[in-house]
Amino acid sequence: MTTEHEATGGTTGPDGGWSAEEARAIERLGNRFAQTGLSRMSARIFAALVISDDGALTAAELCRRLGVSSGTVSTSVQYLTGLGLITRENVPGSRRDLYRVLDDPWPEVFAIRGHWLRDFASSAAEDIGRLDEGTPAAERLATMREFALFVMPKLDDIVHDWRRHRAERARADDPPRP
């Protein structure tokens, strides 16, 4: 059964896949995302969702367009969903799921990193107490913890400032009507 999304979604080439320019953009963007620590396949899938016209594709579309197995897509979308970069939606009238990139995923990514840094700083404090004081290992871990504590509030501030910026821009782009 062809879903409405598959019948109407995204710019496609003659084979139902990406145009040559889109395919190149996905590979370049995927490589950039992989440099941030995403697995190569998760990075390609994230890039494909970003490049698709409506920011959403089914697992079957991802398999067909990227030439990968359903297991690979399943593992990658589960990981990306866990990171907060994409969401999973039900396709009305179908048993298929639609994976959608968030319009503005970066604040969530930064928030998740901030939570991770908080957890790291807490556990690092415990681990430092387990190490012999003044050893290179204890000093190294203390420096890592200090960095986490230094960065945490800055990440929170960045997310807050970004959301305020977006709200101000939205108000400027949509002036009040008389």
| C-alpha 161, offset from chain centre | 20
How far is the C-alpha of 91 from the C-alpha of 30, rounded, in Å? 26
Which residue in 64, 59, 99 sits closest to 81, CA to CA? 99
Q: What is the pLDDT of residue 21?
A: 93
Q: What is the pLDDT of residue 146?
A: 97
| pLDDT score of 176 | 57
Query: What's residue 173's pLDDT?
Result: 81
- The pLDDT of residue 18 is 83
How high is the pLDDT of residue 94? 86
Per-position pLDDT tens, the chain of length 178: 344 344 434 444 444 578 899 999 999 999 999 998 889 999 999 999 999 989 999 999 999 999 999 999 999 999 999 888 999 998 888 888 999 998 888 887 788 788 889 999 999 999 999 999 999 999 999 999 999 999 999 988 998 999 999 999 888 887 655 5
Tell me the whole-structure pTM to 2 decimals: 0.71
- Report CA-CA distances (Å) from 149 to 14, 118, 121, 124: 52, 7, 7, 11
| CA dist., res. 7 & res. 111, Å (int) | 36
Which two structure tokens, joined as six digits, stand for 56?
Answer: 């959403």
- Please report where in the chains the tokens 């509030």 appear, as a residue: 153
Give pLDDT, residue 2. Answer: 42
The pLDDT assigned to 52 comes to: 93
Tokens of 74: 């399943």
